[in-house]
Amino acid sequence: MSAGTLGEGDLADVDARLSGTDTLLATEYPGDDGSRQPVHTLYVPADRYRPELLAAFGQVAAQAVADFGGAVALAQAVGLGALADELAPLVDAKLQREPIEDLRLDFEDGYGARPDDEEDADAVLAAERVSAAVAAGVAPPFIGIRFKCFEAPTRRRGIRTLDLFLTTLVRTGGLPDGLVLTLPKVTTVEQVEAMVALCELFEQRLGLPAGRLRFEVQMETPQLIVAADGSVPVATLLHRADGRVSALHYGTYDYSASLQIAAAYQSMEHPAADFAKQVMQVAVAETGVRISDGSTNVIPVGDPEHVIEAWKLHARLVRRSLERGYYQGWDLHAAQLPTRYLATYAFYREGFAAAAKRLDNYLHGSDATIMDEPATARALARFVVRGLECGALTAEEVRAATGSEPEALVRLAHPKLTTKEAVS
């Protein structure tokens, strides 16, 4: 081997200089863990939850579609006519099989202020019902609660509800695999640090494995975008949470109201909303933390003309979020489920043929006119895997179009996963 100028000592010096960077990238920017991200979170007042709610909401959604003339007619009405015949059976099946991917039992805005005895009882009952649903196999893949925020007037009430809910879950069957806890109206990094400390305490007291409890942060206040000292707390909090923050959720209406935007113009697509979400998106990049868009409060019920306009709005907003890289959003009513899945499935099916062709070429050299780099191939694989997870694509379609097994695409999308993790 030819001799170069630098020796082992020189290279070791560079390694030493960059050891801090190596540690930072490995610990603070580990990338996505490859677990499933739901396409939505549906909120219901906590006291309304019953184990049969999942099926009931699916029936309400399916009936709304049937009353309109079927999924093909609805797809045509919201501007997805070209794919209507493809989308209809997939959406019909989804509403029957898994109408809700992520359900949040709400003890905050959707529940309101009630006597302590009443909320105590509802917190215990909610946990018992979640345990019953999990045991019966009728719980959604992800389920949890949103408790009241850590501002002084509601802090102790929120913590007590969380305590009763978690303690009862452990007592009645254990924590569900898809348990999600949502901390709303966060304004400071210190509130997140307080939640981290509580998670550690619950784990110790309830005999849970260290790190078992994670939580979402709802980004509903401008103080998380720019703090009094000019910093960006929404980025800082991720790195002060000991890996416990699983997602950032944008809160459309609280955030808009904080900026004094008139109610008529509060929307997921307001420029102020786009700015906040872009800051969130940059903050979570490569951290493994997910991002969720907010909701529209225009519900498709009542007058038929209003219903179709609300469906059109919802479908357009869902598509808009997906195009901007926000793969999850909030839903507030069962009648929003049909357009959630129509718009989501259309997004993946419209892009599938091109993505599959490029993946086939990358993995098997099938088309010399395309030269994708590894980072692009990973993005293509993630796109297809997301489509598979939510039901927009089938494994048979993926095999035929890419020449690869879905497990191989999972490994390509998430190269840090082991083979066992990718298959599971």
Residues with Cβ < 8 Å from 218, sequence gap 6 or more? Answer: 146, 182, 183, 184, 185, 186, 248, 249, 250, 251
147 and 130 within one domain: yes
Reduce the DSSP state of residue 31 to 3 states and report it.
Answer: coil
The DSSP symbol for 40 reads: E
Please tell me the number of Cα atoms within 13 Å of 379 on its side-chain side. Answer: 9
210: in domain: yes
Q: Which of 360, 316, 362 is nearest to 339 (CA)?
A: 316
Q: Is the pTM of this model over 0.75?
A: yes
274: in domain: yes
18: in domain: no
287 and 355 within one domain: no
356 and 341 within one domain: no
Instruction: Determine the residue type at 36.
Output: R
Separation between Cα atoms, residue 386 and residue 238, nearest integer Å: 24
Count how many residues are written for the chain: 424
101 and 201 within one domain: yes
377 and 310 within one domain: no
297 and 396 within one domain: no
Number of domains in the chain: 2
279-282 long-range contacts (CB < 8 A, ≥24 apart) are 279/225, 279/232, 279/234, 279/235, 280/219, 280/234, 280/248, 280/250, 281/324, 281/325, 281/326, 282/235
402 and 324 within one domain: no
217: in domain: yes
How distant is the alpha carbon of residue 56 from its chain centre?
Answer: 23
- Residue where a domain terminates, one of 347, 367, 383: 347
Tokens 């499933």 belong to: 36
**The two structure tokens encoding residue 347:** 């997004």
- Residue where a domain terminates, one of 347, 379, 409: 347
pLDDT 10s digit of each residue in the chain, 424 long?
A: 578 999 999 999 999 999 999 999 999 999 999 999 999 999 999 999 999 999 999 999 999 999 999 999 999 999 999 999 999 999 999 999 999 999 999 999 999 999 999 999 999 999 999 999 999 999 999 999 999 999 999 999 999 999 999 999 999 999 999 999 999 999 999 999 999 999 999 999 999 999 999 999 999 999 999 999 999 999 999 999 999 999 999 999 999 999 999 999 999 999 999 999 999 999 999 999 999 999 999 999 999 999 999 999 999 999 999 999 999 999 999 999 999 999 999 999 999 999 999 999 999 887 777 788 999 999 999 999 999 999 999 999 999 999 999 999 999 998 876 443 443 4
397: in domain: yes
**The two structure tokens encoding residue 328:** 């999850």
Measured CA to CA in angstroms, residue 20 lies from 234, 243, 355 at distances of 23, 18, 37
23: in domain: no
Are 224 and 186 spatial neighbours (Cβ–Cβ below 8 Å)? yes
Separation between Cα atoms, residue 215 and residue 182, nearest integer Å: 6
198 and 218 within one domain: yes
Q: How much is the pLDDT for 424? A: 40
Q: How much is the pLDDT for 420? A: 39
Diameter of the chain by CA atoms?
Answer: 81
User: Sheet harboring 179-183: ordered strands across?
Assistant: 290-292, 245-250, 215-219, 179-183, 142-146, 102-106, 40-45, 329-331
272 and 366 within one domain: no
- Residue where a domain terminates, one of 302, 331, 347: 347
Q: Which of 338, 292, 299, 339 is nearest to 316 (CA)?
A: 339
Q: How much is the pLDDT for 371? A: 84
Separation between Cα atoms, residue 341 and residue 64, nearest integer Å: 14
Q: Which residues make beta-bridge pairs with 182?
A: 146, 216
411: in domain: yes
Reduce the DSSP state of residue 166 to 3 states and report it.
Answer: helix
341 and 229 within one domain: yes
Tokens 């190596």 belong to: 22
314 and 386 within one domain: no
Q: How much is the pLDDT for 419? A: 42
Cβ atoms within 10 A of the Cβ of 70, count? 14
How distant is the alpha carbon of residue 393 from its chain centre?
Answer: 19
Q: Which domain holds residue 396?
A: 351-423
The DSSP symbol for 209 reads: P
Q: How much is the pLDDT for 251? A: 96
CATH number of the domain bearing residue 210:
3.20.20.60
Separation between Cα atoms, residue 240 and residue 118, nearest integer Å: 35
At 105, give phi and psi (nearest 5°).
Answer: -80, 115
197 and 341 within one domain: yes
Are 234 and 224 spatial neighbours (Cβ–Cβ below 8 Å)? yes
169: in domain: yes
Could you tell me the end-to-end alpha-carbon distance of the chain, in angstroms, rounded to an integer?
Answer: 45
